[in-house]
Structure 1
Amino acid sequence: MRIVIGQFAVARSWEDNLARCLDLVEKARARGAGMLVLPEGVLARDPQDPDHVLSTAQSETGPFMTALLHASKALAIVFCVNVPDGAGRFFNTLYCLRDGEITVRYRKLHLYDAFSMQESRLIAPGNSLPPVYDFGGVRCGFLTCYDVRFPEIARHLAVSGAEVLIVPAAWLRGPGKERHWEVMLAARALENTCYVIGAGECGSQNIGHSMVIDPLGTVIAAAGIEETALEVDIDLGRVARAKAVLPVLANRRFADPVLSGSEPR
């Protein structure tokens, strides 16, 4: 499966962002992709007004989602948007759309209350584990941004069969943050012998640096700080070879980090 990562700077207007997403959809189709992965929070953003993400949140039946559902024929589109929770905050929700349907819905578990930020002021946390979904024989698991700092969630997805981890993000700038991003993505790939696809927002607030890590922890594709469409072909043979030479999942002596049917606290 070919995956295209659409890296761009999210604007204040949801209409402008929708146009950018639809343009990336066409670029992904032209490159023969089966999946387009977009960053976190693609609905709207204003670095000068943190509450803008709350005031612009839309429901699943809103015009932003409706347009992307219509555009998802024969193409999986992965992205995160803000959905009102009905109690004054919103859920940072990851969606995968395909053939006009919502195939994956995941509310971000880990809120970024770190480095002087407090996402929990505006965002309500999810309480369900992210899914593993089969896209034409490629099993994909999903995390959102800060989730990647918590290895137990990636390990849960790996032992549930994920061969590719998809990570939409809006990774904030700061001292050493580019290094944190690369190290976390590479660690999650290497310790689970799976691909990791990190789709980052660029612009004045976030680092960009979308990248693809192979199952042995090597960066095989990477973007800089500019808007771009980055593509990679997923080779399941590469996953099988990594598991054969580095059987960490088979060799582990601890129980699964999350038992089947349990929920986060």
Structure 2
Amino acid sequence: MPLPDDHGGYGERLLGQSRPGEADRLAALADACDPATVAVLDTLPLAPDSRCLDVGAGLGTIARRLLVRCPQGRVTAADLDTRFLDGTADPRLDVRRLDVRTADLPAGSFDLIHARNLLAHLPDRERVLSRLVGWLAPGGFLYVEDVSFFPVDSSPHAAYRTLMRAGLATVGRTVGSDLDGWARSYPAPLLARGLTDVGLRVRCAPVTADSPDGVLWRRSLEQVRDAVVDGGAATEREVEEGLACFADPAFTDLAPALVAAWGRAPRS
């Protein structure tokens, strides 16, 4: 049956930490995405005592990387559900259960804010982005990263394309996510908020049966398959045919793009 209109958001109905297998999915996400993210973060001129905020920290892999990068600094790892973060023991790491939509943090609190796969899932993403910019210290950096599905639209594999698009439609309808246009608009939202030294990176990785992105998207689609079928975005047969692509050793395609943008707050 269709999902009710008064649905919960991301992490409540879909892909939340309480769902079976979510830790494995987040580990797959880190395997697929962390290397490219870290490669950019390592180029930013952060002071050793920088104050960092990782929003939607998940397993905390980026937060722990920032602890190494800023050995005299502090890192706040924030998420709606911190069950995968609570066991992290480091006096410089502050684990906080935090809703970025309503949190009351002082202006100028952080020298770096990292938010991956967050804004695209928030219907009020424009307002939240402005809040993040307001939390930057003068000269601080904001790094945001989100998915855009445009490479999937030209896929020559109909079963893969159908299932990926069905997953997109389900997440969009259930959560209010924009996995098409939001990240594709980067870096314009950062420029519009006065950030400088703005950069852009687009990562479009291969999907195979054993590639990091193949594992990530297979796990993600398995998490939402019931909602896809119940909501009428695809039939059970279409879901099975699409998932079979991820088990086929001869299958190769492109993952959705991961678009990153970063910029620096004015110093005065």
Above 0.5 in TM-score?
Answer: no
More strand by share: 1
Please tell me the TM-score bracket, short chain as reference.
0.3 to 0.5
More helix by share: 2
Structure with larger Rg: 2
Bigger RCO of structures 1 and 2 (CA < 8 A, at least 6 apart): 2
